[in-house]
Amino acid sequence: MTDLLASHIQQRFSGTISDLNILIAGDELTLEIPAKTLSLVCLALRDAPQFQFNQLIDICGVDYLTYGTTEWQTEMTTETGFSRAVNSQDIENLTSWTKPRFAVVYHLLSLVHNHRIRLRIFVEDEPLVVDSVVDIWPAANWFEREVFDLFGIAFSGHPDLRRILTDYDFVGHPFRKDFPLIGHVEMRYDATLQRCIYEPVSIQPRILVPKVIRKDARYVRPGGATNHV
């Protein structure tokens, strides 16, 4: 079924989209297209009889900033704790990423053919803007607002593009890989002003190394020594 769908897509778009990329992993099909062709492809996927993807399941953003890079070594546990303290010399590049940093991913479902497809576009230039698909699938409204809020990717033509999960004065986009875990500002209620105010965050950044010492019988070795897990 996946191969047949891929064949239909190749026949439909090969003559109009030069950068078409069809990826198949197991029974999952991913279609990568240039951002400028998004509306054209989405309309065809929704309306063409061989596709009829009439339901939008989800839209999400992806930040590939640290893709293929790891600082977490979790293959073994020692008597002194987990071997995953973050040190700059421990950074290892497992995969070389050459594509743009940001992408928007669409998951579509055809209720007629019982087909699913993943559509991915990369966003290269600042400001990060792609076309809205609200006029094609109205369910995209809140999904696009979520991507805008968390990743800072704007959607041209969206009827009401504003934050949806963070508050209106929030600084930054928290799902970006370079956004600090402690944030940029913190909010508190000021009794004198009788309103909420924002101040620079007071939490000190630190590295947390999981380490729990259990002293019950399950972790006591012969001789009375205690395992560290």
Amino acid at 8: H
Over residues 191-219, the pLDDT tens digits come to 998 988 888 887 766 555 545 555 656 55
pLDDT bucket at 183, cuts 50 / 70 / 90: confident
pLDDT bucket at 78, cuts 50 / 70 / 90: low
Average pLDDT estimate for 118-122: 95
Angle subtended at Cα 87 by Cα 79 and Cα 93, rounded to the nearest 5 degrees: 110
Closest Cα partner for 84 from 95, 96, 76?
Answer: 76
Residue 3 predicted with pLDDT over 70: yes
What is the C-alpha separation between 182 and 195, in angstroms, rounded? 23
Q: Which residue has the higher pLDDT, 88 or 129?
A: 129
Residue 86 predicted with pLDDT over 70: no
CB 74, CB 83: distance < 8 Å: yes
CATH architecture of 2-64+100-179: 2-Layer Sandwich (3.30)
Which phi and psi (to 5°) does residue 155 adopt? -125, 110
What is the C-alpha separation between 182 and 185, in angstroms, rounded? 8
Distances 33 to 6, 43, 97, 136, 220 between C-alpha atoms, Å: 14, 14, 18, 17, 57
Residue 37 predicted with pLDDT over 90: yes
Which segment of 21-30, 95-104, 157-166, 202-211 scores lowest on mean pLDDT?
202-211
Residue 84 predicted with pLDDT over 80: no
Structure confidence at residue 140 (pLDDT) = 97
**Residue range(s) occupied by CATH 3.30.460.80 in the chain:** 2-64+100-179
Write down the mean pLDDT value for the chain.
Answer: 82
Query: Maximum Cα–Cα distance for the chain, whole Å?
Result: 74
Handedness of CA 176, 178, 180, 184 (dihedral sign): negative
Structure confidence at residue 111 (pLDDT) = 94
